[in-house]
Amino acid sequence: MTAQAGYEDLPHTAGVLTLVGDMVGGVFASLREVRDATARCVAPRGRRTVTADLAVLRPLLWGRLTGGGVAALIAGIGFIAAPGLLADAPWYLEWWQENPGGDPVQLLRDLDPSSSAFYDYTHWEWYSGPLSGAERTICGPYVDYLCTDEYSLTMSVPVVTGGVFAGVAAADVLVRRFEGAVLPALREIPAPAFLVNSGGRVVASNTARWVAGDLCRDAGSFAVRPVRDLPLSLVTEK
């Protein structure tokens, strides 16, 4: 959806744009930290990178799963390696999830291509978006049966080293948390209003006519305002 001009701005839209920009921008700031730390791990060093090299990321990942602020939104975070990057694991996820009962836990999935349960993560938008050159991708909302078992958003950025795509730094944000944080501000707008990702998928809304997960492609009857330089827009009925 593209931004439209020539309309009188509705009250409270600026506050929503600021709130959402700060929240989502904070998640992407955390992902840039993970991206940069990962790039240092996999940089050429006279040998191929192995899974043990990525263990240095764990304190950073664990720290993004605890505490308040942006950490309160994130349910899972980590690095997803490009196939063939690592010498000892052709497919690999250094992915950690929150654990209400204690320390974060590592997500373990079947990454054996010969297995019937093989998890080919390269087909997901949160991976294919960065691979195709997108600097920031928001995938979803979708039911994340493989990680959170909840309606989720996955935000991701590419990891590049030596000019070569090495994989993706990504984070899962539960939709119920995202909605809980933005709905009070959305409801202040005196018109139907909702947030969409770059593909037109509704992320949060102040009206039952548009619910999270709906697809809105026709912007003709709406005013569309970009949320900073993020892959997200605020849509209101004119």
- The answer, yes or no, to whether residue 61 has pLDDT greater than 90, is yes
pLDDT, tens digit (0-9, with 9 covering 90-100), for 114-128: 999 999 999 999 999
- The answer, yes or no, to whether residue 68 has pLDDT greater than 80, is no
Backbone angles phi and psi of 14, in degrees to 5: -60, -40
Backbone angles phi and psi of 116, in degrees to 5: -70, -20
**Architecture of 20-175 per CATH?**
2-Layer Sandwich (3.30)
pTM: 0.92
- The answer, yes or no, to whether residue 3 has pLDDT greater than 60, is no
Torsion of CA 118, 123, 128, 132, to 10 degrees: 110
Torsion of CA 231, 68, 204, 31, to 10 degrees: 20
Ranges of each domain in the chain: 20-175, 178-237
Which amino acid belongs to residue 183?
L
- The answer, yes or no, to whether residue 77 has pLDDT greater than 50, is yes
- The answer, yes or no, to whether residue 7 has pLDDT greater than 50, is no
Collapsed DSSP state (helix, strand, coil) of residue 164: strand
Instruction: Provide the 10 A C-beta neighbour count for residue 51.
Output: 13
pLDDT, tens digit (0-9, with 9 covering 90-100), for 180-223: 999 999 999 999 999 999 999 999 999 999 999 999 876 667 89
Residue 119 C-alpha from the chain's centroid: 19
